[in-house]
Amino acid sequence: MLAELKIWLLLLSFLVVSSNMQLHVQAVPQVPCFFIFGDSLVDNGNNNGLPTKAVSNYPPYGIDLPQGPTGRFSNGLTMVDILAQILGFDKYIPPFANLASSDILLGVNYASAAAGIREESGSHLGVRISLDKQLVNHGITFSRITESLGSKDSATQHLNKCLYYVGMGSNDYINNYYMPQNYSTSQNYTSEQYAEALITQYGNQIKTLHSYGARKVAIFGVGPIGCTPFAITSHGTNGSLCVDTINLDAQLFNKKLVSLVDQLNKELTDAKFIYVDILGIGSGDPSLAGFKVANVGCCPVDEIGQCICSKTPCQNRSEYTFWDSFHPTEAANKISAARSYQNFLKTDTYPMDISHLIKL
């Protein structure tokens, strides 16, 4: 297992290096376009102008990026930035908020920190772009592409060829279900009922995305939200590495998500949906992948778990899995991106990885 992992890490370096090389030779990307629906794990600036505490366009966020803070919740690149590199794009997919200056035919990033499947999730932090609103924004993109290509048919044909990243659900737990003082969901639903309600709503939202022409959709499950430094400090782990009860809820949600993927593949036979097991990818022994610190973040944090403005973070960022109390470092994002693109363990993705999805 250890030897296998070392081999894989070599492959990973190769993958990342070769994708950097593609930035220079400007190879044609493996897909013509890439659209992103999500939360703070992949937000790249959509919250910057919004009245909310869930913003990150201040130092030390972005400390390892040439352009500095951008609204990414990491020291460096997010998972979708790295996926865009691996796919051969010569720039990152721009945020919807900056659309005026960008080429929408290549894709748009709609992700918004604190956003959820449910409309109200994250509302105690301020304004956020829920998944329903992200889909409304995609409708605007659809109209613009229709205008640009001349007809709805050509817009749909173009959108058929793109890859779609969809990753929601964390905030429906962290910034909703686990905050009984601000949200009533935990009074109204058991864990089982809540997961079921979320998946029903999510399924309808993904069908809306399909109605706009999405045919290659990678759905990322909820990650190990019981292992975040915030969960560990606020709940305690009772001797475990993580807060097991929280990870059990994430597992419950993900299990139902896998069934949803099966159901979507059965119902919508002109499209393919895959599941990415971010919970599994983020579990296991982090030291095997070269990490030394997994239970605390790299930057000093405020009461909501975000980096305190201009406080000096740790030096060895590649040795930390967490950057602040919720969000992975670029080093951890690289591993998630690489394993979603190309399986390391068979269980990383279902029923296939992104490299196979885009070849269909």
Ligand X SMILES: *[C@@H]1O[C@H](CO)[C@@H](O)[C@H](O)[C@H]1NC(C)=O
What is the contact surface with ligand X in residues (CB under 6 A)?
124, 181-182, 184-185, 188, 238-239, 315-316
Q: Minimum Å distance from CB 220 to ligand X?
A: 25
Q: Minimum Å distance from CB 61 to ligand X?
A: 19
Residue pair 135/205 in contact (Cβ under 8 Å)? The answer is yes
Q: Minimum Å distance from CB 189 to ligand X?
A: 8
Residue pair 79/42 in contact (Cβ under 8 Å)? The answer is yes
Cα(35)–Cα(14) distance, rounded to whole angstroms? 25
34 strand-pairing partners: 163
The residue among 185 and 247 lying less far from ligand X, judged by its C-beta, is 185
Q: For residue 222, which amino acid is it?
A: V
Residue at shortest CB range from ligand X: 181
The residue among 66 and 239 lying less far from ligand X, judged by its C-beta, is 239
Which residue of the set 324, 325, 336, 353 is catalytic?
Answer: 324
The closest of 330, 338, 319, 304 to 126, measured between CA atoms, is 304
Cα 223 to Cα 100, 183, 251, 265: the distances in Å are 33, 22, 9, 23
Which residue of the set 40, 74, 130, 170 is catalytic?
Answer: 40
Q: Could you confirm whether 327 is annotated as catalytic?
A: yes
Which residue of the set 64, 81, 138, 327 is catalytic?
Answer: 327
Taking the alpha carbons of 278, 281, 287, 291 in that order, is the dihedral positive or negative?
negative
The residue among 41 and 243 lying less far from ligand X, judged by its C-beta, is 243
Q: Minimum Å distance from CB 188 to ligand X?
A: 4
Residue pair 19/49 in contact (Cβ under 8 Å)? The answer is no
The residue among 70 and 329 lying less far from ligand X, judged by its C-beta, is 329
Query: Catalytic amino acids?
Result: 40, 324, 327
